[in-house]
Amino acid sequence: MLDEFTLGIVAIAAGVLILIGWVPQIIQGYKTKKLEDVSKYLVIAIFSGALLWLIYGIEIEDNYIIGVNVAAMFLTMTVLIMKLKYEKAFESIRK
């Protein structure tokens, strides 16, 4: 069994690994103004899962679960907003 300190390190490392994948996507999308390959349904599903994990984390009073899922919700919404904004801009250019 892991002690509380080690378990905290594992939780932080897990959170960083889960969240870090969104950063290159956001940077690339911002630079290119294109997120065509990102499914909005996937982003919505991930956001929904993070919301449920947030509720769970609040219920069991686990700050690691709460923090990671608040950050996940922020990052997924950033990607979704960028995707919708860039798709709308692209559509207006095509007309």
Task: Report the predicted TM-score, pTM, of the whole model to 2 decimal places.
Answer: 0.85
pLDDT, position 89: 81
- Pair 65, 54: CB distance under 8 Å: yes
Phi-psi region of 33 (alpha: psi -120 to 50; beta: other; left: phi over 0): left
Cβ atoms of 92 and 52 within 8 Å: the answer is no
Q: What is the CATH number of domain 19-94?
A: 1.20.1280.290
DSSP conformation letters of 5-61 = HHHHHHHHHHHHHHHHTHHHHHHHHHHHS--TTS-HHHHHHHHHHHHHHHHHHHHHT
- Domain locations in the chain as residue ranges: 19-94
pLDDT of 93 above 80: no
pLDDT at position 95: 65
> Which of 15-24, 44-53, 57-66, 85-94 bottoms out in mean pLDDT, i.e. has the lowest?
85-94
